[in-house]
Amino acid sequence: MKYFTADLLRRFGSEDAPTANAAQEEWEQVCERYNAYLDSIKGQMTPGLRQVEESYSLHDARVCGMGQDGQSFVIVLRLDTPPHPLLTLTVDLLGEPGIDTAALPRELCSTGDVVAWQYDELEFLPGNPQAWRWSILFSNGWEVQLHFRDVRVQAAQAILPTPRNGKATGTPVSQPA
């Protein structure tokens, strides 16, 4: 990751107040630079990328699964933002995904079975064909890099796991007497 580096994340989470405060200021500057970069490449974004960038907050989404089928890389998420839909991202790969299983120091990694989407960086790669690099940092410490052409997005209202508001969609079925 070029913007949200492991070193910045480590300092941001420091228990030493001066270190954490300095990192907070740096974090805000990094966010401003990255957002300015995103604004500068919006015109080149494919419809799928634009949909992801403009419609969804992926931060803290629970990763339900990830896998590859040939030139497709699939990520299934349960978004942290209400109404907590399931989101399937199907990425059309141009090369093999890169996975760094030790991108973060162990003390910054989550433990257990729940893995969340933390931060991501999108990079436009001009050329013919036009391409993209998506670096995604997960709470387990993995950084996944995808070199791709486009992404397809499918959203669905969750039934299982039950949404946090406790309201599953669907038609009630009457039980036999």
Q: How confident is the model over 8-53, as pLDDT tens digits?
A: 888 888 889 999 999 999 999 999 999 999 999 999 999 999 999 9
CB 133 within 8 Å of CB 73: no
Q: Which residues pair with 72 in a beta bridge?
A: 69, 92
DSSP H stretches of helix in 42-162:
47-55
pLDDT digit string (tens) for the chain, length 177 residues: 888 888 888 888 888 999 999 999 999 999 999 999 999 999 999 999 999 999 999 999 999 999 999 999 999 999 998 889 999 999 999 999 999 999 988 888 888 889 999 999 999 998 888 999 999 999 999 999 999 999 999 999 988 876 665 555 555 555 555
pLDDT score at 68: 97
Q: pTM of the full predicted structure?
A: 0.86
Distances (CA, A) of 153 to 11, 21, 58, 74, 129: 34, 37, 12, 10, 21
